[in-house]
Structure 1
Amino acid sequence: MTAIKSSGNLNSSSTGRGDDALSDFARPTRLVAFFRRLPTTTLVLAPYLLLFLPPAFIFGNSSVWFLIKVALIALLATTLVDLFWPRTPQMQDPKAILKRYDRRLFHFAFIVVAFSSLVRFLAALAGKGSVAVQTGRAEMSSGYIGTLDSLIGSWGIAGVGLAVAAYFGGYCSKKELFLTVGIGVAGTALGVVFTQITAPLFSEITFLTMFLLFFGLIRSRLILIGIVVVLYIWPTIFEIRNQWRVESGVRVSDEVSAFDRLRFDLQFARAQELSVPLEDTAIGFLQNPNVLDILRYGIIPRFLDPDRDLVSTGQVINMALGGSETSAYTFGPVTTIYVLGGSLYLFFYYALLAVLVNWVWKNGALITPVRLLLLATLFSGPLGWFSTQPDTLIGAVQDVTASVPLFIGLYLIRRKSERH
């Protein structure tokens, strides 16, 4: 990767920490340099190498080659786009726009993350997303907080992008950055206590891991250590989660162990039971949205368009497997897209995602708060390890729409900073 030259006045209006931040960005390790050169490919490949395929090989899953074949279709699409996307020439100072902000950028990011975490916690406390509510054993105690959470639930992810931008601008220290990130994780973790669903927490942790690694803010060896720690404590977490569910009156199957929940290869392999592409027979559910559907569902609030179909690919798949519409099942992001539309659909879907990522990233030549916000949205949504496609692509459009107040806030901060 081309070295970045720093102009002498990079942080003339900042807190004086910009040199360290610039060093983190400008001298990446080989792994981080590879990640930045092939961003979408790395995001698709990482969960297969670290989580999905190892158990399949260790325990001799005969469907492992099916999983690899499907993954290779997506990886071919992302690799072609990542490799041949026009390289944007590095600017003399790629963080020039960050000079137009000040310390208020970090304060704004901190407030956004903290407020989003508080709302997420209160929504979980009220019962939103809990197993008890989903199974009809309880009702939400407050519809207002749930609505607010639906509107600004993505701000926690957006705030992480803004906090990283503030760090690169020299407006906060690395400790302040990680404190901000930690508040977001804490809000999600506390929510798990009331929802008894651990998936959002692991999704957020994997997003943060990949996003911070991309910018050289954590070391790769910490990821390996983290995986070992999670595998070690997961049986305990699984047992506690089941105990909470039983106390809420929810039946828990004794046949599924903590280790079974980590056998994603077995879960994804069930895709072979269905015809490809999947027939559109789930009445009342959106299955293969086109561009207009994505814009309609992503921009127009449901209360203005109440008669449209529901968006839950997990429920569609569960019904196709012979289950009911009250439960959901997923084959992971890549295999789910393959089942819904076939090989060509999978190829062009991931080619589109690669185009979006490379367009936003722009080879790191122009780092702005808005670009990092959008990049965080793509990392956590459509390219999340456990995302459900194409729901999360629609969700990404919804998240960008919900971020309009944040864009306005950034504009006001920049204008006020420029006046000074």
Structure 2
Amino acid sequence: MAVLTAKTHKDDSESLATRLLQYYPITGMALLPYLALIIPQAAYYHNPEVWVIVRIVGLAFAGSALIETAALPIRKPYPHREARKAANSRYPRILRVARPLAIASMAIDITSAAAGGGTIFTQVSGQAAVSPIVTLTTPFNGWRYVAAALFVSAYFGGYATKATFYRWMAAMFGAQLVIAAYTARAAPIAGFISFAIMGALMCGLVRVRSAAIIGFILLLAWPAIFAARNEIRERGGVAVPDQITAENRIRLDEQVSRVGRYAVPVEIQDMPGPAEVIRYGAVPRFLDPDRPLLSTGGLINEAMGGGRTSAYTFLLIGTVYFLHGPSGVVAYFAAWAVFFVLLLRTGKGPGPGRLAMIFLAITGPFGWIATYPDVLIGYVQNLVAAVPVLFGLHIVARRTGKSPGVAETSAPPLTAGIRRQVGVGH
């Protein structure tokens, strides 16, 4: 382990951008997609409604940055290297849980998609998939994100390298490609890649430059992905409009700025509330088989003059703005900032359980192309499914005891030195 940890320490000088993301996680997750892609798109195409985008992103920034800045004097997310090691090194057999969980998640996700779960054909029909396999496997769709969190915890504890994380994320990405072939949807691929990049950046497992290169490669590959998606849809009997090209389909700036044409908040019938979030999130469908299929995108599309068999959203921030107005955007991001402050700045620091909660939030409530409030339902569902995994991990920890001496250089502190670089606390 000493050779492994020494090499890991050498490779881990974290950039200022990564450190800022670690101190401002909610602000970073809200702003990065817009600063890196959507606002530049609007400027390049001379979108006349670019200021609509800037305004709603500013509201999200106000809600999260205020809380996260106020929390800076409280305590660092990781006060020192030993705190992170203490939170994660007491699970020496964590890889014995992470590896089977990752394999099981890939098998479950592919099986569910093959049985009709999450397909475009289900969306068009407006009915839930009838296969019992889909009903039984849907609650476990978040296991891949829990597995990713466990690999990060193993790295923090000194039981894995960055390469371990990369290999398993690549395997799970391959599973997403197979799923896309069944579902004829490209959004899950984009969502998983966004999750992987954001999680790796926040944990110091990838540099901003590398993330930018990955994003550029994906943009180049988008026309081929779009064409393959359309071919699968046409073979399944779903009409694909000829006027929608790969270029205008990725015009996310137009998708977001369109929200400025409406007087917000917009009242929509059948919109899920807190009771539905608990019902759909905590209660598996096999225990509640008569509940209707939930699609906020379909409800929004109907409110805009279309039908429920097609979906439309304004991405995450725009949809919150559409449904709840300016104050709703501020409140949403402020509330999640408080939650992350509690996860990162209390106790000894994030161990595998807290990392799982953070990773599930990255892909759920802060999946920037995700649909609100559906993502809240998914977050509750994924947390419920994660409980037996984390409980089993704690049982393993109790049986094996604490780690018998992990090298001090196993991994650098998540945020060590940020105060020196940005002047916090001086």
| Fold-level similarity (TM above 0.5) | yes
Shift of residue 92 of structure 1? 6.2
Contact 2:23 2:68 in 1 (8 A): yes
Aligned positions, number? 399
1:200-227 superposed Cα distances (whole Å, 9 cap, x missing partner):
0110001100100111111211122112
Tell whether 2:57 aligns with 1:71.
yes
Tell whether 2:88 aligns with 1:98.
yes
Deviates more, 1:410-419 or 1:300-309: 300-309
Counterpart in the other structure of 1:87: 74
**C-alpha distance in 1, partners of 2:276/2:74?**
32
Structure 1 residues 82, 178: CA separation in 2 closer, same or farther (over 3 Å shift)?
A: same
**C-alpha distance in 2, partners of 1:371/1:238?**
36
Tell whether 2:168 aligns with 1:185.
no
**C-alpha distance in 2, partners of 1:124/1:109?**
22
**C-alpha distance in 2, partners of 1:269/1:139?**
31
Shift of residue 145 of structure 1? 2.3
Structure 1 residues 137, 341: CA separation in 2 closer, same or farther (over 3 Å shift)?
A: closer
TM-score, structure 2 length as denominator?
A: 0.87
Matched residues, percent identical?
33
**C-alpha distance in 2, partners of 1:367/1:237?**
37
**C-alpha distance in 1, partners of 2:384/2:210?**
34
Aligned with residue 132 of structure 1, among 121, 128, 143: 121
Counterpart in the other structure of 1:373: 356
**C-alpha distance in 1, partners of 2:236/2:280?**
33
Counterpart in the other structure of 2:101: 112
Shift of residue 174 of structure 1? 2.4
Structure 2: gaps (5+ residues): 405-426
Shift of residue 261 of structure 1? 1.0
TM-score, structure 1 length as denominator?
A: 0.88
**C-alpha distance in 1, partners of 2:295/2:236?**
25
Aligned with residue 414 of structure 1, among 370, 373, 397: 397
Structure 1 residues 15, 341: CA separation in 2 closer, same or farther (over 3 Å shift)?
A: same
Structure 1 residues 237, 114: CA separation in 2 closer, same or farther (over 3 Å shift)?
A: same
**SS at 2:118's partner residue?**
coil
Shift of residue 270 of structure 1? 2.0
Structure 1: gaps (5+ residues): 1-13
Aligned amino acid, residue 46 of structure 1: L
Counterpart in the other structure of 1:17: 4
Counterpart in the other structure of 1:4: none
Structure 1 residues 24, 379: CA separation in 2 closer, same or farther (over 3 Å shift)?
A: farther
Counterpart in the other structure of 1:265: 253
Shift of residue 234 of structure 1? 1.0
Residues 148-297 of structure 1 mapped to structure 2, 5 A cutoff: 148-280=136-268, 282-283=269-270, 285-286=271-272, 289-290=273-274, 293-297=276-280
Shift of residue 194 of structure 1? 1.4
Counterpart in the other structure of 2:305: 322
Shift of residue 303 of structure 1? 4.6
**C-alpha distance in 2, partners of 1:360/1:21?**
25
Structure 1 residues 81, 308: CA separation in 2 closer, same or farther (over 3 Å shift)?
A: farther
Contact 1:337 1:346 in 2 (8 A): yes
**SS at 2:246's partner residue?**
coil
Contact 1:316 1:325 in 2 (8 A): yes
Residues 300-319 of structure 1 mapped to structure 2, 5 A cutoff: 300-305=283-288, 311-319=294-302
Contact 1:377 1:396 in 2 (8 A): yes
1:99-127 superposed Cα distances (whole Å, 9 cap, x missing partner):
3211x201211111111111111111222
Deviates more, 1:195-204 or 1:388-397: 388-397
Shift of residue 297 of structure 1? 3.7
**C-alpha distance in 2, partners of 1:391/1:139?**
15
Tell whether 2:17 aligns with 1:31.
yes
Counterpart in the other structure of 1:123: 112
**C-alpha distance in 1, partners of 2:57/2:126?**
39
**SS at 1:383's partner residue?**
coil
Counterpart in the other structure of 2:281: 298
Structure 1 residues 261, 412: CA separation in 2 closer, same or farther (over 3 Å shift)?
A: same
Shift of residue 302 of structure 1? 4.2
Alpha carbon RMSD of aligned pairs, Å? 2.4
Shift of residue 411 of structure 1? 1.1
Tell whether 2:390 aligns with 1:402.
no
Shift of residue 87 of structure 1? 2.7
Contact 2:316 2:371 in 1 (8 A): yes
Contact 1:109 1:163 in 2 (8 A): yes
Tell whether 2:45 aligns with 1:59.
yes
Contact 1:128 1:146 in 2 (8 A): yes
Deviates more, 1:307-316 or 1:230-239: 307-316
Contact 2:86 2:348 in 1 (8 A): no
Shift of residue 418 of structure 1? 0.7
**C-alpha distance in 2, partners of 1:245/1:306?**
28
